């Protein structure tokens, strides 16, 4: 078992859990924020969610790279699936969540909230795949 697999597994499950909390708790709560508090709330949310996600996103990428370098031949399909799912989270964020959050700067908008929620469900699915795949590899290695 490689350190890359362990790093990928831990970071993947952290990000998956965080994404489920965002999907089930945080984004649905956006509509409860009073208009007068929206701008301050959204700035705080955006700043803190970046703090919660960015280091683990980097760890996940590092883990996948280390896993690929150490166990390339035996786990190639799992590494490709995990890497593709992790890349998907980046794409869903860059092309879905980021533009929606930028548009939210001017105030809450129910249509933007629906777009953001859809983008996050796609990201949640991808992170779930990126967490389950190395878990299967680990279980199969026992």
pLDDT in tens, 56-100: 999 999 999 999 998 666 788 999 999 999 999 999 999 999 998
- Coil, strand or helix at 13: helix
Domain range list for the chain: 3-140
- Confidence band of 33 (pLDDT split at 50, 70, 90): very high
Please name which of 85, 95, 94 lies closest in space to residue 128, comparing C-alpha atoms.
Answer: 85
Residue owning tokens 């994404």: 19
Q: Which string of DSSP letters, residue by residue, matches 18-64?
A: HHHHIIIIIHHHGGGS-HHHHHHHHHHHHHHHHHHHHHHHHHHHHHH
Confidence (pTM):
0.89
C-alpha 78/C-alpha 63 separation (Å) is 13
Distance of CA 122 to the CA centre of its chain: 9
């Amino acid at each position: 078992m490689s350190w890359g697999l362990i790093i990928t597994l831990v970071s993947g499950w952290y990000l998956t859990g965080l994404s489920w909390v965002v999907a089930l708790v945080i984004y649905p709560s956006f509509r409860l924020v009073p208009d007068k508090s929206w701008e301050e709330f959204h700035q705080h949310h955006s700043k803190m969610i970046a703090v919660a996600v960015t280091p683990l996103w980097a760890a996940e990428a590092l883990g996948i790279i280390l896993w690929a370098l150490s166990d390339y031949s035996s786990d190639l399909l799992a590494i490709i699936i995990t890497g593709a799912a992790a890349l998907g989270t980046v794409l869903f964020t860059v092309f879905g969540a980021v533009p929606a959050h930028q548009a939210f700067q001017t105030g809450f908008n129910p249509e933007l909230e629906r777009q953001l929620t859809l983008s996050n469900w796609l990201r949640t699915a991808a992170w779930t795949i990126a967490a389950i795949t190395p878990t299967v590899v680990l279980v199969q290695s026992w």
